[in-house]
Amino acid sequence: MRREDLYQQAKESLCDVGVERFNEAHRELLYHILLLQEHLEAVLTLDDQTLDWKLVDQSIDFLETYTLEHLKAEEVLMVASHYAGYAEHKAEHEKLIVDFLEIKGRIMASRKKEDVSELKDFLLGWLFKHTSCTDMEYKGKLDLSLV
């Protein structure tokens, strides 16, 4: 299935967390995880001589930066809204960052395609689980006048 079709289908499964800016960020993350998948598939077709990791690296860098920005934006709004579940939610964000950086470090050090595949599966699983459970807990409890 083409990335665009896959994206259109998968984004329907993302939950509405009640803050449109964060919904948009979740959709953007989904799109870029699927882009990483596409770059990975391109890498998989190349032999060791012609292997070019540039697109994979760019994709991972984008996902890292965008994810960090999104998590920070949520945390700032949770704090400003005096959200009771902040500490627990932030701990989940921190665990994601640790796990993401651990897999990224392995990819940079060993250049194994399996590690990129693991990162893609990890991020996809995290995105759907975290947004449908942890993010949904703040729905209706954040101060939207501060967005």
Cβ 36 vs Cβ 58: under 8 Å: no
Q: Which of 11, 27, 111, 130 binds ligand FEO (CB under 6 A)?
A: 130
Q: Shortest approach of ligand FEO to residue 138 CB, angstroms?
A: 8
Q: Which stretch binds ligand FEO (CB under 6 A): 56-64, 98-106, 114-122, 126-134?
A: 126-134
Q: Shortest approach of ligand FEO to residue 21 CB, angstroms?
A: 10
Query: Measured between alpha carbons, how far is 12 from 27 in angstroms, rounded to an integer?
Result: 9
Nearer to ligand FEO, 1 or 87 (CB): 87
Q: Which stretch binds ligand FEO (CB under 6 A): 57-65, 70-78, 80-88, 110-118?
A: 70-78
Listing DSSP states for 16-62 in one string gives --S-HHHHHHHHHHHHHHHHHHHHHHHHHTS-TTT---HHHHHHHHH
Alpha carbon distances (Å) from 27 to 2, 82, 144: 17, 26, 19
Q: Which stretch binds ligand FEO (CB under 6 A): 33-41, 69-77, 80-88, 106-114?
A: 69-77
Q: Shortest approach of ligand FEO to residue 84 CB, angstroms?
A: 15
At 125, which amino acid appears? Answer: G
Count each helix (H run) and each strand (E run) in the chain, helices first.
5, 0
Q: Which of 7, 22, 83, 100 binds ligand FEO (CB under 6 A)?
A: 22
Total number of residues that touch ligand FEO (CB under 6 A): 11
Backbone angles phi, psi at 119, to 5 degrees: -65, -45
